Amino acid sequence: MFSSLHLVAITWTNAPENQHPILGQDYTVKCEVKADPNPTIDWLRNGDPIRSGDKYVVEAHGLLIRNVQESDDGIYTCRAAVIETGELLERTIRVEVYIQPVITHLPATLEAVEGKPFAANCTATGKPVPEISWIKDATQQNVATADRFQVNPQTGLLTISSVTQDDYGTYTCIAKNDAGVVDQKTKMNVLVRPQIYEFYNVTGVSKKEIAITCRSKGRPAPAITFRRWGTEEDYAPGQQADDERITLEQHFDEERGESTGTLRIAGTTRNDDGLYQCLAHNKGDTAYKTGHITVEFPPDFSHMKDLPPVFSWEERKANLSCLAQGIPNATIEWRWNGRPLKDAFDKNLVIVGTGPRSDLIVHPVARQYYSVYKCIATNVHGTAEHDMQLKEARVPDLVAAAIPRQLTATTITFDIRGPPTELGLPITAYSVQYKEAINPDWSTAQNRSWSPDSPYIVEGLKPQTAYQFRFAARNQVGLGMWGVNQQQSTPRRSAPEEPKPLHSPVQNDKEEPVVVSPYSDHFELRWSVPADNGEPIDFYQIKYCPGVKMAGAWHELENQCASEDVVETTSYEMSRLSGNTYYRIELRAHNVIGFSSPASIIMKTTRGESDSANNNLGTLLYSAGYNSAADSPHKHYIKFMTTTSTAGTRTATATAIITATTTSVIALATTTCITLISVVAAMLA
- At 48-73, the pLDDT tens digits run 999 889 999 999 899 999 999 999 99
Task: Give residue 553's pLDDT.
Answer: 74
DSSP 376-392: EEEETTEEEEEEEEEEE
Task: Give residue 5's pLDDT.
Answer: 56
Distance CA 122, CA 132 (A): 8
Whether 623 shows a pLDDT value over 60: the answer reads no
Domain chopping of the chain, boundaries: 8-95, 101-191, 200-297, 301-392, 401-489, 500-604
Q: Work out the average pLDDT over 560-589.
A: 93
On whether the 101-191 domain is CATH 2.30.30.230, my answer is: no
Task: Give residue 511's pLDDT.
Answer: 60
User: In what order do the strands lie in the sheet containing 27-30?
Assistant: 27-30, 62-65, 56-59
Task: Give residue 398's pLDDT.
Answer: 96
Helix (H, G, I), strand (E, B) or coil at 649: helix
Instruction: State in words which class domain 401-489 has.
Output: mainly beta
Q: Work out the average pLDDT over 635-642.
A: 42
> Per DSSP, what are the bridge partners of residue 22?
98
Task: Give residue 549's pLDDT.
Answer: 72
DSSP 357-374: EEEEEE--SSGGGSSEEE
Task: Give residue 219's pLDDT.
Answer: 87
Confidence of residue 629 (pLDDT cuts 50, 70, 90): very low
Task: Give residue 551's pLDDT.
Answer: 73
Whether 681 shows a pLDDT value over 80: the answer reads no
Whether 508 shows a pLDDT value over 90: the answer reads no
Q: Work out the average pLDDT over 2-8.
A: 64
Of 684, 545, 523, 683, whose CA–CA distance to 606 is shortest?
Answer: 523
Q: Work out the average pLDDT over 600-615.
A: 72
DSSP state for residue 145 in the 8-state scheme: G
CB 634 within 8 A of CB 603: no
Q: What would the pLDDT profile of 108-142 be if each residue is shown by its tens digit?
A: 999 998 889 999 999 999 999 999 999 999 999 99
CATH hierarchy code of domain 8-95: 2.60.40.10
Average pLDDT taken over every residue of the chain: 87
Whether 487 shows a pLDDT value over 80: the answer reads yes
Of 214, 383, 393, 235, whose CA–CA distance to 292 is shortest?
Answer: 214
Whether 371 shows a pLDDT value over 60: the answer reads yes
Task: Give residue 660's pLDDT.
Answer: 38
Q: What would the pLDDT profile of 164-212 be if each residue is shown by its tens digit?
A: 988 989 999 999 999 999 999 999 999 888 999 999 999 999 999 999 9
Task: Give residue 260's pLDDT.
Answer: 97
CATH topology identical between 101-191 and 200-297: yes
Q: Which of 424-438, 627-641, 662-676 has the highest mean pLDDT?
A: 424-438
> Per DSSP, what are the bridge partners of residue 174?
133, 183
Task: Give residue 668's pLDDT.
Answer: 34
Task: Give residue 676's pLDDT.
Answer: 40
Distance CA 19, CA 44 (A): 15
Q: Which helix (H) or strand (E) holds 681?
A: helix 670-684
Task: Give residue 200's pLDDT.
Answer: 95
Q: Which helix (H) or strand (E) holds 548?
A: strand 539-550
Whether 257 shows a pLDDT value over 50: the answer reads yes
The domain covering 301-392 belongs, at the CATH homologous superfamily level, to Immunoglobulins (2.60.40.10)
Q: Work out the average pLDDT over 228-245.
A: 95
Q: What would the pLDDT profile of 292-322 be if each residue is shown by its tens digit?
A: 999 999 999 999 999 999 999 999 999 999 9
Confidence of residue 619 (pLDDT cuts 50, 70, 90): very low
Centre a 10 Å sphere on the Cβ of residue 164 and count the other Cβ atoms it contains.
13
Burial of 229 (0-12, 13-18, 19+ CB in 10 A): exposed
Whether 268 shows a pLDDT value over 80: the answer reads yes
Task: Give residue 642's pLDDT.
Answer: 39
DSSP state for residue 125 in the 8-state scheme: E
* One-letter identity of residue 167: D
Burial of 144 (0-12, 13-18, 19+ CB in 10 A): middle
Task: Give residue 510's pLDDT.
Answer: 58
Nearest 5°: the CA angle 643, 649, 655 is 95
Q: Work out the average pLDDT over 15-26.
A: 95
DSSP state for residue 69 in the 8-state scheme: -
Q: Which helix (H) or strand (E) holds 615?
A: helix 613-623
On whether the 200-297 domain is CATH 2.60.40.10, my answer is: yes
By 3-state DSSP, what share of the chain in percent is helix, strand and coil, each rounded to 5? 10, 50, 40
Distance CA 55, CA 63 (A): 10
Helix (H, G, I), strand (E, B) or coil at 275: strand
Task: Give residue 685's pLDDT.
Answer: 37
Task: Give residue 361's pLDDT.
Answer: 97
Of 253, 271, 262, 279, whose CA–CA distance to 211 is shortest?
Answer: 262
Task: Give residue 666's pLDDT.
Answer: 33
CATH architecture, domain defined by 500-604: Sandwich (2.60)
Lowest mean pLDDT among 326-340, 374-388, 671-685: 671-685
Whether 663 shows a pLDDT value over 90: the answer reads no
DSSP 318-352: EEEEEE-EEESPPEEEEEETTEEGGGT--TTEEEE
Task: Give residue 343's pLDDT.
Answer: 84
Burial of 326 (0-12, 13-18, 19+ CB in 10 A): buried
Confidence of residue 216 (pLDDT cuts 50, 70, 90): very high
Q: Work out the average pLDDT over 668-674.
A: 36
